[in-house]
Amino acid sequence: MFITFEGIEGSGKSTAIKRLKDWLQEKGQGVTLTREPGGSRLGRTLRSILLDIGNNDLTGETELFLYLADRSQHVHQVIRPALDEGVGVISDRYADSTVVYQGYGRGLDPKILHQLNDVAVRGLWPDLTLLFDLEPEIGLKRAMTRNLQDGTCASEGRFEAESLAFHTRVREGYLTWAAINRDRFRIIDAAATPDEVFEQVRAAVADVFSIA
Ligand code: TYD
């Protein structure tokens, strides 16, 4: 069982991921939670480079190859070994983030990005990808409130500091990419209440993995 969560900043993925883990464990399915960037030891260093607002001079290609390097380590050291042991994996972001942020967001070719991803993950694609869909205005507001509550500055991170136009391209890119890959994507209405959002997640997972 390999499930990925995708969506813009502030779409409520992390809350739903924790609830899904608890629910799956109640059903007897062991799961491990992980995320990108930063799911492996090397990845944690790459994450701090990628999200550091001081690194706003990275070229789009540098950014791309750092995300791909993070993903390759993550698959090799964390995801594949867990799946081989029969442990389910839930990842907060995965390869689709690259197609959408570096492709639809930054303007690199999504088809080439998909091929590079396939090399990085050695053909390992999720069974199910849940896209948390939300208007970027709402997502960005939520992300800023969360950062303030965490005690970090309101616009922490290179992506949260991006323009609304960028996040609108990302949101639309996700919807386009989900339509192209409709066999594995399910769209979650992330504007709903946390309980309603979780219910949509639970129903999709129960359906795809035939859990009663
Ligand atoms: P993070 O703080 O983990 O964001 P979130 O809580 O929204 O998941 O930061 C990850 C950022 O990196 C996020 O803005 C999306 C971006 N990203 C890419 O641009 N490409 C990628 O391949 C991945 C995995 C993330």
pLDDT digits (tens, 9 = 90+) for 89-99: 999 999 999 99
Q: What spacing in Å lies between the alpha carbon of 55 and ligand 1's midpoint?
A: 15
Residues 37-42 have a mean pLDDT of: 97
2-209: CATH homologous superfamily? P-loop containing nucleotide triphosphate hydrolases (3.40.50.300)
Predicted local confidence at residue 156, as pLDDT: 57
Q: What spacing in Å lies between the alpha carbon of 93 and ligand 1's midpoint?
A: 7
The CA distances from residue 131 to 84, 128, 159, in Å, are 26, 10, 18
User: Which residue among 35, 47, 93 has the greatest number of ligand 1 atoms within 8 angstroms of its CB, and so is best to mutate?
Assistant: 93
Residues 182-186 have a mean pLDDT of: 98
Domain boundaries along the sequence of the chain: 2-209
Contact partners, residue 73, CB within 8 Å, separation at least 6: 39, 40, 41, 42, 43
Residue indicated by tokens 């409709």 = 182
Angle formed at CA 186 by CA 146 and CA 166, multiple of 5 degrees: 50
Report the distance separating Cα 176 and Cα 133, nearest Å. Answer: 12
Q: What spacing in Å lies between the alpha carbon of 148 and ligand 1's midpoint?
A: 18
| Mean model confidence pLDDT for the chain | 94
70 CB near ligand 1 (under 6 Å): no
- Say whether pLDDT at 70 is over 80: yes
Report the nearest atom of ligand 1 relative to the CA of 94: 24
Report the distance separating Cα 140 and Cα 147, nearest Å. Answer: 11
Encoded amino acid at 93, one letter = R
Decide: 132 and 7 in contact? Cβ < 8 Å.
yes
- Say whether pLDDT at 16 is over 80: yes
pLDDT digits (tens, 9 = 90+) for 139-149: 988 888 887 77
101 CB near ligand 1 (under 6 Å): yes
Predicted local confidence at residue 153, as pLDDT: 55
